[in-house]
Structure 1
Amino acid sequence: MNNYYILAINPGSMSTKIGVFENENEVFTASVEHQSRDLETFPTINAQFEFRKNTVMEILGSHNFEIKKLSAVVGRGGLLPPIQAGGYTVNAAMKKLIWEGNLSQHASNLGALLADTIAKPLGIPAFIYDAVSADEMEDIARITGFPEVQRKSLCHVLNTKAMGRKYAMALGKRYEDLNLVIAHLGGGISISAHKNGKIIDVISDDMGPFSPERSGSIPLFAVVELCYNNRYDKKAMLKKIRGLGGLKGHLGTSDCREIEKRILAGDKKAEKIYEAQAYQIAKGIGEIAAVLKGNLDGIILTGGMAYSEKMTAMIGEYISFMGPVHCLPGENEVEALALGGLRLLRKEEKPHVFRG
């Protein structure tokens, strides 16, 4: 069997994470947290390209890794137009679309560009894998009460599919043979229904429970009133939805560790809001489980908040009647990128062609 070295790159809103893997085995992983004052000097996400590239190269240099050993580079897939799940080769059409700057602003858009700029001089493939916009939703799930608005498949595709595969492996089964509900609990929360290896429906971060910094679903009439009362412009409302909503809006912090300390110190408001978040997460899991019609092989809680025994215990009290609940905490996206790239190199999967 061939020996492959794979570089995985995951640019996040406030960090750049990379990992080098030799086949399935981690050689090293590293994360650099960026200061707001540094990123605020760039007018757009694309303008951060050289800064992020230099960050990646500095990490590789600090680990004395010789990049000529690499077999492939895999970047996180960004907010491209709806595409299939799995791997794509980074090509001219993809790079052109990203560089044109018309995509929603998100650091993950840089994943393809960073993978390409490192891979191209080495003559090796650059891939993206399980992009944020990967779309496997069933058509019935797209329909809303507004004819001009369709629901979109936007969730933590990369991590939830990776955790689905990990759970299946622990059972001695294939991910493609299971029906799962997977809740990614992070700064944003998404809940997804996985049926035989496909994400057939999602509750995205603007449609379900509030999270540490996002508002989640809000009663529509109240939102309309806020939009037209001359207190908030569009920019301010979007910030309330993402950035200043959820725990941040109620308690002034998005740090769950700090909130749990407050609760231990007797802060009743913090306790009530934290319990409300668990309640809403559980309600969202129940909602998305319905689309699987009771054929449920497991419920997985993942993401950073899944490290909290308090939060997962509160959620579990509501949902354990539906099926086995398993905590696979953390954001395992770097590993998921590398393993996806490995499957492509081994020809266990075939990369898709992006056509714009």
Structure 2
Amino acid sequence: MRCLLGLNLSSRGLEFLARRDDGTTPLSGLIQLGQGDRPSASGLAERTVSSLGDLVVSAVAASGGFDGCTEGGVLPLSDPDRDMLASSGPMGLAPLVALELSHMLGVEALLVEPFTAREGVRGLTGLPELPIRPLRHAPQVKWCYLRAREEGLYPPEASAVVAYLGRGTSVCALKGGRVVDSNNPEETGPFSVAFAGSLPAMELVRRAMSGALRREDLTRLVAGGGGVVGYLGTYDLVEVEALYHRGDQKARLVVEAMAHQLAQEMGSMAQSLGGRVDFMALCGGGAAFAALAERVSQRVQWIAPVLRYPEVDALESVVQLALRHLATRGQPG
């Protein structure tokens, strides 16, 4: 029986999960990374192997991507990819570990739905010098789409808008399982737990040129220190939800603004599908925040039914999509 090992780099560290074809999970764990750690892929691979014990795996799959456009889907990793992954920063670390493990264990390595897949990229912005940079929570969005389509008995070519609500927010328009449009959670779209989303361009230029902020300070504000944490000082939506239900006026204002911007972006993605949308879905940890999810749903349910999958996360999505890929590849014809 096939056993797949999935890898994902999160804010907590390197997460791993082993899953068999029959759905059982013989192993899961986390290799924590300290603040400021510069871990080596080979060192992380060795620590992962020691965690496996006697467990035999037949393939290793990882989330992540290259620092540049690539194809979507489940892609094989090989040694020629090593340099590109090594130069891709944190996004390339889990795939690099997968590549190291493939040599140690004698199995294949897979990259599942790269974050920078060029699917649906509309390259033009208002400035030729600033093209759109593709980036999204691709595994989560694809897995949520497949689950919702199959559970709702929608046809294979179903059109949908899927929003993943994590530290960042990806809102994607999909047709037949392919992303046809998407925001970049680090740069555009609604603000999220940690990212500022779309901002007033002229005011941002003034702040950048004022000399009051260093480049790294400004970058941190936009990507990592903006959004909810900028307003409320916490990355924890459970804490925000508690504040909201206690009647904290600032928390209520922030949640209403999040719901408004998220619904706005989902409506924009519906336009990318010509207004013909079979379903919409909210997934990720933010979808468990009932008040937020309800306010978003109220704003967009006139377009299509809104489904919720708060349990969809990066690691589970990688494992599920990789297992499907391997099973389909093994079918004759």
In the superposition, the TM-score normalised over structure 2's length comes to: 0.92
Residues 49 and 122 (structure 1), Cα distance of their counterparts in 2 relative to 1, 3 Å cut: closer
2:255 matched to 1:293? no
Which of the numbers 26, 33, 40 marks the counterpart of 2:36?
A: 40
- Rounded Cα–Cα distance in structure 1 between residues aligned with 2:202 and 2:330: 47
Count of matched residue pairs: 330
- Please give the secondary structure, in 2, of the residue aligned with 1:273: helix
Unaligned 5+ segments in structure 2 are: none
The aligned counterpart of 1:111 is 94
Bigger shift: residues 272-281 or 18-27: 18-27
**Is the contact made by 1:180 and 1:194 (CA closer than 8 Å) also made in structure 2?**
yes
- In the alignment, structure 1 residue 136 sits paired with structure 2 residue 119: yes
Superposed displacement of residue 58, structure 1: 4.7
Contact 2:144 2:312 in 1 (8 A): no
How far apart are residue 258 of structure 1 and its match? 1.2
Please, which moves more after superposition, 329-338 or 208-217?
329-338
Show CA shifts across 1:264-284 (max 9, x none): 333211111121111111111
- 1:216-272 CA distance string (max 9 Å, x none): 111101101110111112111110011110111111112111122222333211111
Q: Write out aligned runs for 1:276-315 (5 A).
A: 276-315=257-296
Counterpart AA for 1:137: G
**Which of structures 1 and 2 has the larger relative contact order (alpha carbons within 8 angstroms, sep 6+)?**
1
What is the one-letter code of the residue matched to 1:84?
Answer: E
1:230 matches 2:211:
yes
- How many angstroms apart in 2 are the aligned matches of 1:51 and 1:331? 29
Q: Letter of the aligned partner of 1:197 in structure 2?
A: G
Unpaired runs of 5+ residues, structure 1, are 351-356
Matched-pair contact (CA < 8 Å) for 2:64–2:115 = yes
Distance 1:260 1:120, change over 3 A: same
> Is residue 74–residue 110 contact of structure 2 (8 Å, CA) maintained in 1?
yes
| Distance (whole Å) between structure 1 residues aligned to residue 291 and residue 26 of structure 2 | 31
Flag the 1:120–1:214 CA change in 2: closer, same or farther, 3 A: same
Q: Deviations over 1:86-130 (max 9, x none)?
A: 12111121112223x3x2x22x41222211222223322111110
Give 1:173 shift: 4.1
| Deviation string, structure 1 residues 293-350 (Cα, Å, up to 9, x no partner) | 1110100000110011111011111111111000011343323322333334335389
Residue 277 and residue 125 in structure 1: after superposition, are their counterparts in 2 closer, same or farther (change >3 A)?
A: same
Letter in 2 for 1:230: G
SS in structure 2 of the partner of residue 244 of structure 1: coil
Instruction: State the partner residue of 2:158.
Output: 178
Give SS of 2:329's match: coil
Q: Residue 72 of structure 1 contacts residue 119 of structure 1 at CA under 8 Å; is this kept in 2?
A: yes
Q: How far apart in 2 are the matches of 1:254 and 1:122? A: 37
Q: Which of the numbers 79, 85, 93 marks the counterpart of 1:92?
A: 79
- What one-letter code is carried by the residue in structure 1 that aligns with 2:164? H
Q: Give, in whole Å, the separation in 2 of the partners of 1:135 and 1:265.
A: 43
Q: Distance in 2 between matches of 1:135 and 1:24?
A: 33
Q: Take 1:73 and 1:233, find their aligned partners in 2: how far apart are those partners? A: 40
2:201 is the alignment partner of 1:220:
yes
Distance 2:190 2:47 in 1: 34
SS in structure 1 opposite 2:82?
helix
Report the Cα distance in structure 2 between the residues aligned to 1:161 and 1:26, rounded to whole angstroms.
Answer: 22
Match of 1:26 among 19, 24, 27: 24
User: How many angstroms apart in 1 are the aligned matches of 2:22 and 2:168?
Assistant: 29
Maintained 8 Å contact 1:16/1:56: no
Q: Partners of 1:340 and 1:89 in 2: how far apart?
A: 13
Once residues 328 and 235 of structure 2 are traced to their aligned partners in structure 1, the CA distance between those partners, rounded to angstroms, is 42
From the superposition, tell whether residues 308 and 349 of structure 1 become closer, same or farther in structure 2 (CA, over 3 Å): farther
- Taking only the aligned residue pairs, the percentage that are identical comes to 24
Does the Cα contact within 8 Å between 1:306 and 1:329 map onto a contact in 2?
yes
Using the TM superposition, name which of 211-220 and 88-97 deviates more: 88-97
Which amino acid counterpart does residue 8 of structure 2 have in structure 1? N
Report whether the alignment pairs 1:124 with 2:104: no
Alpha-carbon RMSD across the aligned residues, in angstroms, is 2.1
